[in-house]
Structure 1
Amino acid sequence: MPNNYDDIIEKLDNNQLWDFPGGVFPAERKTLSNQTPIGKLPIPERLFVTVKQHIGVEGHLIVEVGQKVLKGQALTKSMNPFAVPIHAPTSGEVAAIQKHVSAHPSGLPEMTVEIISDQQDKWIQLNPLIDYQSQPKIKVLAAICDAGISGMGGAGFPTHIKSSPKKDVDFLIINGIECEPYITSDDRLMREHAWQIRQGIDVLCHLLKPKQVLIGIENNKPEAIEAMQVACRENPNYRICSVPTKYPAGGEKQLIQVLTNREVPAKGLPMDVGIIMHNVGTCFAISDAVFSGKPLISRVVTVTGEAVEKPSNLWALIGSPVAHLLAHSDYNPKLQKQPNVIMGGPMMGFNVINDKVPVIKTTNCILAPTDTEISSNNEQACIRCSACADACPVSLLPQQLFWHSKAKELDKAQDYNLFDCIECGACAYVCPSEIPLVHYYRIAKSEIRVEQEEKQKSDKARERFEKREARLIAEQHARDEKHRLAAEARKQAMESKGNNAKDKIAAALARAKAKKQAVNIEEETSVSKADLANDVIEAAAPNETTEASATQPTTKVASSNQRVQAAIARAKAKKAAAEAATSNVEVEVPSEVEVEVEVEVEKNNDKVSESIKTETQSKNQSVNAKEPAPHAAKPEPLKPESASSESVSEVTATKTATIAASKKARIAAAVAKAKAKREAQKAAETEQTSKEAPLAEVEDPKTDSSQEPVKTQEQQIDMKKRKIAAAVAKAKAKKAAEKADKSS
């Protein structure tokens, strides 16, 4: 930083200031309007309140056509930090919300709320912040924003944004210079309302906490300097600085350079060098908003010029048409060759298109000059005198800027720092060719802004298109990936399903095979049991003639099965004997152990037969006992328990008979096999004997001494088998009966 805080304070204590380059000294002509107090205008019939009156974005409309409004009622709402609301200047009815000619050099129409006044001027309920020092800063800033306050001495920067910096503030500068000719609104405001301005400064100090407050006033306003000194004498940190008269000393960057010798960088802000600047009119509006609760709906406007019969300063409502102010000041258009009204001063003001242009928050002067006061701007060729460069307070090259701006070489104009121009008009004021240089600069700036806006829109559109393309590609990739994963999942599912189907088929086949095997085993077992039962029954038949009538169906079935099994056994024995005789194979004769086993089996069969006979006789006796007498009473029905016991006994007997028949069949098969072996052995021995002995002896049956003993042995074996089968059947029947008794 070129100058530190202590050096600046030391120089200010010595009443020494700095200077800025360039500048001009035009005729002031301030005495036309600063000799009378600020007047008050009557309420106009119609007011045209422009929605946007500041740098930033416009607020959101919250009223509609036909709605009744009160004085101070908000017409828009801040939806953005850079949005400042507007308020109804008086009570009345919203007549229209449409575009209306704007207070701008171009005169382009802007959105405007038209209000028809009811002349009652009725206020809404006001909510002041008297104890603002005990309130959070954010609440004070909100009150300033809700009051619609923006900069009233320059471009209209939102005050609540400027009053909430993120850096420490060394100096708070209050701009009371008002350097442009003819304009005296700030001068009269400081003279008449110095105390309210000081209250606004107090609020700003509460928000900004500056180290020092510098109030700059040009030395051509002694009454204003004195009034401010009286108002600020209680606070030593408030310093009144008398600045030499020079145009444009009231410019933001120029006044900072004069008071602190700090230079604001190009495209920078005063906060970049530790300084915040506010206008005296802004301080008055802050005081009104905080201590009275009033929004910004009026301001002091200087109406002056030799074409006005009564030049003065007036409290004008925001939205008042220029024609209303001129009519109250007795504007005389006959003093002009053609009507010429300027909004602003002669250096930086612009010609209004018609008298319906409304007053806005940054309007400080309405100038109606005669033809002799201001030159007619008869533009001539540039003589390259460089007077414009000498007068430029920003040290630019106005001549080169003029050439490039006029030739629409906007890039080259920007290379010469076109946007550093503050449009003070000093170059045009000193131009001997009367070239309206500022006019060319403004047009070039507006064209560049339009190009930049179009470029930004194009860039945003391209960015949106690229993002859309990227999004579509990403979505396509996502879909492809999704389809791929789905296909893989389906493939895996099909493979898994195929494997499961194969597994299911294999399991079904295994179950079918197992079931078939189980059926075969069951059939074999049932057949074996049936055969054994038949054999047992057949063996026991000679000894059980008394049971024929009771067991006739079972005996018949068993006898039939036995005959079939015997026939099969005989066929097998015959076939085996034939094969043995043919192949001369030695057949083994049953050993003594086998014979003993067969004898034991025969004994068991006999026991089984005896048990079956005994059980049958007991059943017949029970049945005979239960038969009623010829003339006896009707017997009671059998109980379920006795019936079930009888059925269980029958089932048990049947099962026992089946098992005995199966065993009998196996014994018969074994006997048949043994007979076949024995016959085969006998045939072999006979063949051997025939070779040694005469054929007649072999064929003579009388010489076979072993035939009769063999027959006797077979009868004995058969008897033993029958006894064994009977014993086995009897044991089985007894065991089945015991089980049946337990289960019942």
Structure 2
Amino acid sequence: MALKLDGFEGSGTFAHGIHPPDRKAFSKDAAIRVMPTPDKVVLSLHQNIGGPCEPLVKPRQTVSWGETIGKGTSFVSTTLHASVPGVVQRLMRVTLANGRHMDTLPIKAQGEIPSGQALWDEIFGGDWPTTGMDDHDPAQISRDINAAGLVGLGGAAFPTHVKIMPSDKKPIHTLIVNGCECEPYLTSDYRLMIEAPAPIVSGALLAGRSLGAKRIVIGVEDNKMPAVEALKTAAAGTGIQIAVLRTKYPQGSEKHLIQAVINRQVPLGGLPSDVGVAISNVGTMAAVARAVIHNKPLTHRVISVTGGGIVNPSNVLAPIGVSFGALIDFCGGLRPDAARMVAGGPMMGFAFTNPDTPVTKGTSGLTVMNRDEVAAGEETVCVRCGKCVDVCPMRLVPTKIAMASRHQDIALSRRYNIMACFECGSCAYTCPAHIPLVQLIRAGKARVAAADRG
């Protein structure tokens, strides 16, 4: 392990973690393709961590592309916009890929929006300023982000305006932009960094202005050097630093990214703001630039459609609310040996079976694995080998947490710090007994959260 990362306080890596095969070759060289407008989108009213939004439109109402159709019901919530023009259908309840049952607003597409290169240019093209950020009021930047319906596009889907907000109570000295994309298979952030680095840099400068951060760093793993070079060129003269980090899973975890870059330890149960740091994803930064500079909402995002079960693995600019089945069709369909669909990547994603399931703002990828990729051993008893402890980046004891969860012992789950687990899957990956540790821990966290709500 290197003692120090050149130009930074951190070592460029962190203790524990794993090195799974990255399997990014499926789609890393596939330039982002623009998906044609689908016949229908289904927009969940709960697209983020926190509260849902309430609909502002009624069935049979005609809406335009980008029109606000849902309003947040709480501070930790956000707005929702029509990702296609069309006619609102009757509200319906849908099971999302994460298993949650949510109310949705279906929209039958009707009308024209830019397509192909014109849509790409509308969202990511044009000039993106790197000067004059002091002319923007910090509080207004946060309000613009809120109005645009932005959430973290790395997968967590935390409302961005809450993160990128001036605070006297917890002043932020460093903004770290996460370009690690350590999840196997996924390449949407990688391609965005290569093909649209300018709005990422512009958005990072705006976010830093809102936060009052004196330092902005973009962290990228060293298996993505073309992205590093693209960002360095776009950021030249801005003062933004590019930290090239060692490839390791889960390097993209915010606490471990902070440790790797500036050697600050976020306390157990704490937040990055406790050590004066804010973290946001590269895709989110591009959306921030569009929201603030062009006053445009989040309606589309880049999604990796990848894996051995896809005919033409691709990175796709697609509207929020499109079905996973439509994405699969756009990428040539399924191969005969396709065996499992995962929303996201195989480490932290959610396996699902219904191709009509809609994409949400937090959907970074669709991984379709073939039979060979999903081959797994049968679950046996824990042999107390300690491998899960050795790899846990949070220094927890995953088997103890999982067994407390399996026995529905909420008090014991709390004692073992179940809520500190961020479900990276390192423990399950290394477990020789094939115990479904992440699923057990997720269920236990849900029980603890329910108990806390009373």
- Bucket of the pairwise TM-score, normalised by the shorter protein: over 0.9
Q: Distance in 2 between matches of 1:451 and 1:291?
A: 43
SS of equivalent to 1:315: strand
2:118 maps to which residue? Answer: none
Alignment of 1:492-641 (within 5 A): none
TM-score by length of 2: 0.92
1:380 maps to which residue? Answer: 380
Q: Distance in 2 between matches of 1:11 and 1:306?
A: 36
The answer to whether the 8 A contact 2:150-2:284 is kept is yes
SS of equivalent to 2:362: coil
User: Aligned match of 1:170 in 168, 173, 176?
Assistant: 173
2:262 maps to which residue? Answer: 260
Q: Report the CA distance shift for 1:211/1:135 in structure 2 as closer, same or farther (over 3 A).
A: closer
Q: Distance in 1 between matches of 2:302 and 2:421?
A: 27
Q: Distance in 1 between matches of 2:436 and 2:194?
A: 35
User: Aligned match of 1:109 in 101, 105, 122?
Assistant: 101
Alignment of 1:112-123 (within 5 A): 112-121=104-113
Q: Distance in 2 between matches of 1:40 and 1:172?
A: 30
1:431 maps to which residue? Answer: 431
SS of equivalent to 1:143: helix
1:136 maps to which residue? Answer: 137
Q: Distance in 2 between matches of 1:15 and 1:273?
A: 14
1:310 maps to which residue? Answer: 312
User: Aligned match of 1:227 in 230, 241, 248?
Assistant: 230
SS of equivalent to 1:368: strand
The answer to whether the 8 A contact 1:129-1:290 is kept is no
1:530 maps to which residue? Answer: none
Shift of residue 333, structure 1, vs aligned partner? 5.2
1:158 maps to which residue? Answer: 159
Q: Distance in 2 between matches of 1:55 and 1:199?
A: 26
Q: Distance in 1 between matches of 2:9 and 2:256?
A: 18
SS of equivalent to 2:90: strand
1:193 maps to which residue? Answer: 196
Shift of residue 21, structure 1, vs aligned partner? 2.1
- Cα deviations by residue, 1:536-582 (Å, 9 ceiling, x for unpaired): xxxxxxxxxxxxxxxxxxxxxxxxxxxxxxxxxxxxxxxxxxxxxxx
2:271 maps to which residue? Answer: 269
Shift of residue 122, structure 1, vs aligned partner? 7.6
Q: Report the CA distance shift for 1:18/1:218 in structure 2 as closer, same or farther (over 3 A).
A: closer
Q: Distance in 1 between matches of 2:225 and 2:304?
A: 19
Q: Report the CA distance shift for 1:35/1:122 in structure 2 as closer, same or farther (over 3 A).
A: closer
SS of equivalent to 1:428: helix
Alignment of 1:694-713 (within 5 A): none
Q: Alignment identity in percent? A: 34
The answer to whether the 8 A contact 1:103-1:360 is kept is no
The answer to whether the 8 A contact 2:40-2:107 is kept is yes
The answer to whether the 8 A contact 1:91-1:122 is kept is no
Structure showing the higher strand proportion among its residues: 2
1:296 maps to which residue? Answer: 298
Q: Distance in 1 between matches of 2:296 and 2:58?
A: 23
Structure showing the higher helix proportion among its residues: 1
Q: Which has the higher contact order (CA 8 A, sep 6+)?
A: 2
Shift of residue 374, structure 1, vs aligned partner? 2.4
TM-score by length of 1: 0.57
Q: Distance in 1 between matches of 2:228 and 2:398?
A: 35
2:419 maps to which residue? Answer: 419
Larger Rg: 1
Q: Distance in 1 between matches of 2:337 and 2:69?
A: 40
Which segments of 5 or more consecutive residues in structure 2 lack a partner in the other structure? 116-122
The answer to whether the 8 A contact 1:101-1:356 is kept is no
Shift of residue 277, structure 1, vs aligned partner? 0.8
SS of equivalent to 2:336: helix
Alignment of 1:713-724 (within 5 A): none
1:180 maps to 2:183: yes
The answer to whether the 8 A contact 2:219-2:243 is kept is yes
SS of equivalent to 2:374: coil
Q: Distance in 2 between matches of 1:79 and 1:418?
A: 28
1:527 maps to which residue? Answer: none
Name the aligned partner's letter for residue 196 of structure 2.
Answer: H
The answer to whether the 8 A contact 2:179-2:221 is kept is yes
SS of equivalent to 1:340: strand
The answer to whether the 8 A contact 1:90-1:122 is kept is no
1:347 maps to 2:347: yes
Q: Distance in 1 between matches of 2:332 and 2:259?
A: 41
Q: Distance in 1 between matches of 2:72 and 2:342?
A: 31
Name the aligned partner's letter for residue 252 of structure 1.
Answer: E
The answer to whether the 8 A contact 1:220-1:245 is kept is yes
Which segments of 5 or more consecutive residues in structure 1 lack a partner in the other structure? 1-7, 456-744
The answer to whether the 8 A contact 1:91-1:117 is kept is yes
Q: Distance in 2 between matches of 1:402 and 1:345?
A: 22
